[in-house]
Structure 1
């Protein structure tokens, strides 16, 4: 029987509901590790998880049997429970609906990794909205503004 070989690298981007700055520096590393654990638990390869107080970037090596939408759903559900069960925010934490998923070739892994690693420096120069619209433009993804994230 023939084997299946693949090389799929996906950057996933999604935001906190209402684009609130709820991901605090004191526990964000624990959240990122938890999300990496979710990804590993689904048989996928977490490359890097990082972000800002109002959004996350997740870079994964994806096996073709796993639908991106299923992985994102599981990450959002389980990470919301992680935050809420530990009472890390006042009130109820949740992610906004939707996400962006952008594919890269093997030769881009280091650049994407460093881009995600340096989110704090990057966002000193550019807002999340500008960043996200830039990704959509770079990847030539058509969109309707009314279906984008809620912007502050």
Structure 2
């Protein structure tokens, strides 16, 4: 879009269905490359990507050419289809409904990149649920605890 200028730094978090530890070392790097390609093909810039077997963190420079929900839906649907088509897991792969998305100022970008790059170390001390609750609280997001990645009743 001509004459449209943005500086939006978005931290995106989404999880595997029921938080199953489905993302293995076998294909983790390929998955990240696939996710980066999807995002970049829509004119956004990935600044950091990393995660754990049950969730992913992505920091991106977000452009105003589409909605965040549209991008996330595309990223999740395309990547789950790719994982299933490539038979990278023993069972059908799916992402959990919903996502977390948080904006950060330019002055916070390096701190968030470092945080995302250190996920494995971070999670040796902190559970994902505790991490996610802390992010929600620190960013002042109102939330209903019953929707914080629980298995269905």
Which interval holds the TM-score relative to the shorter structure? over 0.9
Q: Is the 8 A contact 2:49 2:57 kept in 1?
A: yes
TM-score (norm 2): 0.95
Q: What corresponds to 1:107 in structure 2?
A: 107
What's 1:62 paired with? 62
Deviation at 1:49, TM superposition (A): 1.5
SS at match of 2:107: helix
In the aligned structure 2, how far is the partner of 1:56 from the partner of 1:66?
Answer: 21
Give per-residue Cα distances to partners, 1:105-140, cap 9 Å, x unaligned.
111111111110110000011000000000000011
1:148 Cα deviation from its structure 2 partner: 2.0
How many residues are matched?
151
SS of the counterpart of 1:76? helix
1:125 aligns with 2:125: yes
Tell me how far apart the structure 1 counterparts of residues 19 and 136 of structure 2 sit (CA, whole Å): 18
The alignment's C-alpha RMSD in Å is: 1.4
C-alpha separation in 1, matches of 2:31 and 2:3: 35
Q: Which consecutive segments of 4 or more residues in structure 1 shift more than 4 A?
A: none
TM-score, normalisation: structure 1: 0.95
